[in-house]
């Protein structure tokens, strides 16, 4: 084989090797790009819908223990709600203040403006302010709230009010509802939002207490 032919063959091999390296490099880059895109698309949390504060809010100035049930003395089914407070990128909000208020198991608020004839439970607190931890985790123990009438024909389903305030001054007022409760379908406040499932919690019994997971996205 002549020197000229050997030179041309060498150049072809070198070009082929360069192309293979570029193709491998491009392939690895594309794999990394698509993988990071998938991770990015998965790291999206849907915001928790806002709900009205209602007429029975009263501010708690200091935080306290995470128990509205008075150590189980309040009448009603004991429940525990827990979850995380996150932003839309699913990153936790640390040390948030959470105001919690609700009706007792008879459907009455511990509030001077609740003029209903529903029964008062002197052992039920009804109002608490708690704080999430450094990872955005929170929990509280309470009793399953009762339904109550707001007019002759309108009954509000069991729900728990929350007001969340982050360290960077963001806030959210919302309500927790209980999945598959029969009064949910006719409640005008619950049905005012499209993503109703983001306001619902499912309860499962564990060691004599019903537990539910409710993540809050601000």
| DSSP secondary structure of 96-150 | -EEEEEE--TTS--SSTT----SPP-TT---EEEEE--TTSEEEEEEEPPPPEES
Please identify which of the residues 106, 127, 138, 161 carries the catalytic annotation. Answer: 161
Predicted local distance difference test score (pLDDT) of residue 14: 53
Predicted local distance difference test score (pLDDT) of residue 60: 85
Active-site annotation holds for 148: yes
Predicted local distance difference test score (pLDDT) of residue 62: 82
Mean per-residue pLDDT, 46-62: 94
Superfamily of domain 78-217: Aromatic compound dioxygenase (2.60.130.10)
CA atoms of 121 and 140, how far apart (whole Å): 19
Please identify which of the residues 106, 138, 159, 177 carries the catalytic annotation. Answer: 159
Active-site annotation holds for 29: no
Active-site annotation holds for 181: no
Residue 123, phi then psi, degrees to nearest 5: -95, -5
Active-site annotation holds for 138: no
Predicted local distance difference test score (pLDDT) of residue 33: 47
8 Å CB contact between 106 and 118: yes
Q: What is the dihedral of CA 109, 115, 119, 124, to 10 degrees?
A: 20
CA atoms of 125 and 109, how far apart (whole Å): 9
8 Å CB contact between 161 and 101: yes
Tell which residue, 127, 61, 93, 105, has the closest CA to residue 217: 93
Active-site annotation holds for 177: no
8 Å CB contact between 50 and 171: no
Res. 113: pLDDT tops 80: yes
Q: How far apart are the first and last CA of the chain?
A: 74
The whole-chain average pLDDT of the chain stands at 88
Please identify which of the residues 93, 109, 125, 138 carries the catalytic annotation. Answer: 109
Predicted local distance difference test score (pLDDT) of residue 3: 55
């Amino acid at each position: 084989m002549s020197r000229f032919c050997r030179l041309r063959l060498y150049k072809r091999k070198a070009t082929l090797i360069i192309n293979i390296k570029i193709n491998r490099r491009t392939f690895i880059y594309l794999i990394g790009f698509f993988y990071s895109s998938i991770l990015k698309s998965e790291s999206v949390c849907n915001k928790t819908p806002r709900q009205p504060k209602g007429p029975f809010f009263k501010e708690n100035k200091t935080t306290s223990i995470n128990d509205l049930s008075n150590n189980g003395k309040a009448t009603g089914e004991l429940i525990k709600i827990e979850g995380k407070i996150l932003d839309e990128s699913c990153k936790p909000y640390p040390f948030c203040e959470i105001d919690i208020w609700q009706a007792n198991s008879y459907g009455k608020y511990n509030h001077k403006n609740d003029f209903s004839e529903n029964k008062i439970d002197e052992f039920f607190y009804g109002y608490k302010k708690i704080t999430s931890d450094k990872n955005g985790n929170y929990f509280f123990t309470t009793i399953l709230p009762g339904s109550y009438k707001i007019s002759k024909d309108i009954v509000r389903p069991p729900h728990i009010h929350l007001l969340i305030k982050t360290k960077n001054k963001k806030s959210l007022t919302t309500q927790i509802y209980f999945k598959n409760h029969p009064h949910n379908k006719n409640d005008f406040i619950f049905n005012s939002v499209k993503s109703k499932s983001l306001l619902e919690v499912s309860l499962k019994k564990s060691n004599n207490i019903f537990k539910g997971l409710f993540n809050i996205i601000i």
